Amino acid sequence: MRNPGRLPTGPGPWFAVPALAVIAAFFFVPVAAALVLSVTDFDIYAIADPDTLRFVGLDNYLRLLREPRFRTALTNTLYFVGVGGPLSIGVSLGAAVLVNARLVRFKGMFRTVFFLPVVTTLVAAAVVWRYLYHPRHGLLNYGLAWLGVAPIDWLGDPAWAMPAIILMAVWKNFGFNMIIFVAGLQSIPEHLYEAARMDGAGFGEQFRRITLPLLGPTMFFVSVMTMIGYFQVFAEPYVMTQGGPADSTLSIVLLMYEEGFRWWNLGFAAAVAFVLFAIILAATVVQLRWARAEFGPASAADRRAGGVA
């Protein structure tokens, strides 16, 4: 290193300029434009006549925080992330453990089958799930009736609509995380399990003492990515329930879509986008701090293991 602490010189950085230009043009400029939009009252009138545009400062943000529909959307999204996230990760982990088990044959086929929902078209899947969820003719209620449970109005009852969406979203996405977990599981050395079995550890013990700790970094990655993705849930409620019934499946991005692209209140929608960004950033920073404490240098895991501190 010839100039430690100083910016790199020479022809090298210039090779990055085209890529930086593209990122600037297609990322930074639109984000800056959105920020500007969010402090105006851009709407359908402004499309026709820019003269009608008014600068409103933080008015959009204040209106947003007072708006009952935004609070509903935030609650619904937190519900989705809080329940759907752990459920999705749990199902993915369970599927990965099952697929990776020593006694299972045709591992490749099972992995493919579990991954298939991820590649199906959401709209086609939603049509089928809408029939599954039909209160009178659907397969789910038929199964419930067999068990003696009264029919549930899955997509029509505000209490059951979000669980229905969560179920469908988990089914659709668990295959993706499963593949990541399988990779993580395969990196755990087999001799650790052999040693544990010789010491008389059952499956539960092996899982808790070996699998989970060694999957720590993978788990962290999966949980951050899932959380970021789930905060932006849009397609499932948009296709299945359009935010209903009674706004019980209205998510933040769905609210932003309605305000921005149905009613063309782009100023307000841009404000929603920045608020969502702030929420996701905060949640990710919290997770990063926790992960650094758990897995980083001089981490809590090291201290627990009595290692180098």
Q: How far is CA 214 from CA 22, 156, 306, in A?
A: 39, 43, 16
Cβ proximity to other proteins, 105 vs 262, nearer residue: 262
CB of 275 to other proteins, least distance (A): 19
Query: What distance in Å separates the CA atoms of residue 201 and residue 31, rounded to the nearest whole number?
Result: 54
Report the site for other proteins in 29-88 (rule: CB under 8 A).
Answer: 41, 43-45, 47-49, 52
Query: What distance in Å separates the CA atoms of residue 159 and residue 1, rounded to the nearest whole number?
Result: 62
Query: What distance in Å separates the CA atoms of residue 45 and residue 108, rounded to the nearest whole number?
Result: 56
Q: Which stretch binds other proteins (CB under 8 A): 18-26, 107-115, 140-148, 238-246?
A: 238-246
> Across-strand partners of 55?
40
DSSP labels, 46-111: HHH-GGG--B-TTHHHHHHHH-HHHHHHHHHHHHIIIIIHHHHHHHHHHHHHHHH-TT-S-HHHHH
Cβ proximity to other proteins, 43 vs 291, nearer residue: 43
Contact between 230 and 76 (Cβ < 8 Å): no
CB of 159 to other proteins, least distance (A): 11
156 touches other proteins (CB under 8 A): yes
Cβ proximity to other proteins, 17 vs 44, nearer residue: 44
Instruction: Give the residue, chosen from 216, 244, 284, 292, that forms a contact with other proteins under the rule CB under 8 A.
Output: 244
**Residues 6 or more apart in contact with residue 257 via CB below 8 angstroms:** 234, 238, 269
Contact between 60 and 267 (Cβ < 8 Å): yes
Query: What distance in Å separates the CA atoms of residue 234 and residue 243, rounded to the nearest whole number?
Result: 9
Contact between 251 and 233 (Cβ < 8 Å): yes
141 touches other proteins (CB under 8 A): no
Distance of CA 68 to the CA centre of its chain: 24
Instruction: Give the residue, chosen from 34, 59, 153, 234, that forms a contact with other proteins under the rule CB under 8 A.
Output: 153
117 touches other proteins (CB under 8 A): no
236 touches other proteins (CB under 8 A): no
112 touches other proteins (CB under 8 A): no
Contact between 192 and 205 (Cβ < 8 Å): no
CB of 136 to other proteins, least distance (A): 8
CB of 287 to other proteins, least distance (A): 35
CB of 231 to other proteins, least distance (A): 24
Query: What distance in Å separates the CA atoms of residue 276 and residue 68, rounded to the nearest whole number?
Result: 16
CB of 262 to other proteins, least distance (A): 7
Query: What distance in Å separates the CA atoms of residue 30 and residue 14, rounded to the nearest whole number?
Result: 24
Instruction: Give the residue, chosen from 113, 246, 298, 301, that forms a contact with other proteins under the rule CB under 8 A.
Output: 246
Instruction: Give the residue, chosen from 30, 82, 94, 158, that forms a contact with other proteins under the rule CB under 8 A.
Output: 158
Q: Residue with structure tokens 């404490």?
A: 293
| Residues 187-226, mask of contacts with other proteins (x by CB under 8 A) | ----------------------------------------
Query: Interface residues with other proteins (CB under 8 A)?
Result: 41, 43-45, 47-49, 52, 130-131, 133-137, 153-156, 158, 240-242, 244-247, 261-264
